[in-house]
Chains A and B, each alone.
Chain A
Amino acid sequence: GAVVSQHPSRVICKSGTSVKIECRSLDFQATTMFWYRQFPKKSLMLMATSNEGSKATYEQGVEKDKFLINHASLTLSTLTVTSAHPEDSSFYICSAPLLALSSYEQYFGPGTRLTVT
């Protein structure tokens, strides 16, 4: 099956610093990738759509200057949390879609636990 990796799996950073999270599709190309965030006791909330070679599309309420997304190649998307604050502490997970038969399937990375102190 399709494999998506995510790095790092855990990161602790100080308030005010920036953190970069990488998402890679290992055995397939992904012109689109998605970034999700899990709030406490909540489901996965779509933050943005990462588009290879063009600007990301952000969901309503997600600050694009806060969460910088770059999709530089067909297998790599990065999410940079800029000037991180404790309220940015969360679980971030990416996915890449593959068309299977007549509908898409999302393949997820293992996620990144971000803690901002």
Chain B
Amino acid sequence: ILNVEQSPQSLHVQEGDSTNFTCSFPSSNFYALHWYRWETAKSPEALFVMTLNGDEKKKGRISATLITKEGYSYLYIKGSQPEDSATYLCAPTGTGNQFYFGTGTSLTVIP
């Protein structure tokens, strides 16, 4: 699935602030939406996978919502910490194993 847009492209927030960013994708041939977290010099790490419209997933202070009908997913970080600084990637997929990643959102949390 191509034409995956993430916004904003980059984001700077103060420690303790909450933040959110979006992933938009074409809804045709959609099966699942993946969020990955990619820290510099490390391998991208899987955060969430969601398949159903309205799905919400949570891991600690990070949560994600999927709105398939509109072709959007939101990632929300509550009370951002410096260790949250990373690039967040989304990948909508079909039923196969091929991933096309979005443009990414680079988050910097300022202590």
Using a CB–CB distance below 8 Å, which chain A residues touch chain B? 4, 32, 34, 36, 42-46, 49, 93, 95, 97, 99-100, 102-111
Contact = CB atoms under 8 A, between A and B. Distances in A.
B104 A105 contact: no
B66 interface: no
A34 B99 CA distance: 9
Contact of B32 (A95, A103, A107, A109): A103
Contacts of B96: 104
Interface string B10-45: 000000000000000000000110101000011110
B52 to A, nearest CB: 11
A47 B44 CA distance: 17
Interface in B69-95: 87, 89, 91, 93
Interface residues of B, number: 25
A97 B46 CA distance: 12
Given A43-B103, A102-B51, A103-B93, A34 B43 contact: no
Interface in B42-56: 42-44, 46, 49, 51
Contact of A44 (B32, B41, B101): B101
A104 B104 contact: no
B46 A106 contact: yes
